[in-house]
Amino acid sequence: MGRIPFNAGTSYKPLPPMNEKQLRDTFQKYDSNGDGLLSKAELENAFKSLGSHMPNWRARRALNHADANGDKFISLEELDEVVKYAAKHGYVLGK
């Protein structure tokens, strides 16, 4: 039986460079219920859209990093910390 090359059937295309405002807007877009808070599931969807290979893990890490009041949600006030976290991990490629 033949082997299938690792990249067979994939069409990976890197995302274009994003600045911090675009990254912030991307996260805000995933506030699916419009309550001004990002849940872990909403963060996971945002990281998935940004091309994360481990969006669940990345969402947990971002939540642990930025959730200053410990309510398990990211408020608009805490969102800057998520953007800084994402930028530190390579999601912001341009300014």
Domain boundary assignment for the chain: 36-95
Contact between residue 25 and residue 37 where contact means Cβ atoms under 8 Å apart: no
Is-above-0.75 flag for pTM? yes
SS3 assignment, position 35? coil
Q: 42 or 95: whose pLDDT is higher?
A: 42
Residue pLDDT, tens place only, 31-63: 999 999 999 999 999 999 998 999 999 999 999
The closest of 7, 2, 3, 17 to 87, measured between CA atoms, is 17
Q: Which two tokens stand for residue 66?
A: 């930025």
